[in-house]
Structure 1
Amino acid sequence: MIRALRPAGRATVALLALFATTACAHLPRRGGAPGFEISSLASVYSPAGRFRGSWRVTKDAIEVRVDSALVTAPWPGGGTSAEPMVVREDGRIVDVRPLVSVGTRVKALIVTSAELTPGQPRAWTAHAESEPVVVADTLRLGDVRTVTDLRFRIARPADVPLDRAWLVFQLEGTPGGRGGGGRTFACSPQNLAGPAERSAERAETLADNYTLAC
């Protein structure tokens, strides 16, 4: 016999609702470093993430500092659809939420736009990427992980103009058997170096159809 406990995920759902506002935002930072908030929380992706920080362009690299990151495996539709914990006959309390991803890691990419074709499944092409950083050993449906002080260094790609390039965070893990755990993305609307008009157009596209644009 299995006896279900009362759900403990209401606070998690409320937290996700608080953070799932706009897809991306560009924020000013002290010292002139471009600040950002890049988020896929409003998408259908799982895992999804929100990253806040800044970047610095040097002669050889783009150095990305993430002050805070939130990584989650949201319930489909945004609500809890199963009891998270059960008590087994032997008295053990077991988390029975589906496992979405194992060894979830994040890397930063520098990308430019691309035409969608059968051989080009995304609206952008990656030109350079950082080393990955592990952010969660396991992610079950409803989990929320917070991480601080992440650093990414991306070698500056040759012949890629910064006014046509932008930052993408790639979340990747081993699938856990619930349709997630592969590769998902959080895309910035802000080019690494202007112009504002092009960034505004991408922001509008992300708001209209995040999955198509990112």
Structure 2
Amino acid sequence: MEALPSVLQSLLLVPLTLLPIINPLGAAPIVLTMAGGQEHMLKKLSRQVALNGWFVIVVSMLVGTYVLDLFGISLPIVRVGGGLLVASSAWQMLSSQEADAVRAAVRNQSSPDLGESEIARRSFFPLTFPLTTGPGSIAACIALGAQLPRKPLLYVAGAGIAALGAALTALVIYLVFRHAGRLLMRLGSIGTLVMMRMSAFILLCIGIQILWTGWSELNALHAGG
């Protein structure tokens, strides 16, 4: 029983860390557009994007650290690069007068008659990557994976808890995508545009925060060396 609070804390760490970066509500209009406003298509796309997102999160947490070690890349560098990409994407969303190329491509591809294989293909790019689990969230996943214990038994337990946390994150993504369409349709085009601009500003702040954290860690390493 004494270990229960620690397990719950580890379980909630993944969604509490990733959801502010993922910001599923900000990507909901794009999912709704690709679904063509069809309820059954929205359900299928939401489920597929959530599954894809879970896979990306788990792989990034469990494998990302070893990939970085293979190429000699440090976590602070990943945070700096991820922060720059997130901030750059957010700035483009804020400064653009029209929908960007990704949204335009999604709008052109939207169809109520997509098959299962086509849904799986289109749901990964751009809906899963980079709109849902983009560079910022992947960098955060790698940082979370670096905190897993290295002893085999403890690693398996920690990886299982992290996978459950990723499942909670994916569940929230699914619920937001599945039901946010009704809210967005009530908001209308102007309300949706305002919400997207606010989400872009929040995303810009998150990108700067990730960048600043990585830069601070690099300075600390340089000062310590």
Superposed pair shares fold, TM > 0.5: no
Structure holding more helix per residue: 2
Q: Which has the higher contact order (CA 8 A, sep 6+)?
A: 2
- Give TM-score, length-normalised by structure 2: 0.29
